[in-house]
Amino acid sequence: MARNRRLTTDKDFQEALDREIPVRVFQNDHMVDSGGLIIRFDEQIIVVQSSVSQIAYHERRLCEFFENAR
């Protein structure tokens, strides 16, 4: 069964980064990113890499982040 836990705290984001857990990103109730890994984060931006050449920068306050682990 898939695990869909919302990521909200620095601890949540650090765990997803350390364990290389794929994430889904929603903005304005629309999924804007799926399956990428968090590679960096701070209090303003979450950086998600989906492939070697695809890196997305998501504003933390505008988006919702969920781990997509199995």
Residue 68, pLDDT score? 87
Residue 8, pLDDT score? 96
Q: Which two tokens stand for residue 61?
A: 């306050």
Residue 69, pLDDT score? 72
Mean pLDDT per 10-residue segment, the chain (70 residues): 84 96 96 96 97 94 90
CB 22 within 8 A of CB 69: yes
d(CA 38, CA 56): 10
CB 67 within 8 A of CB 22: yes
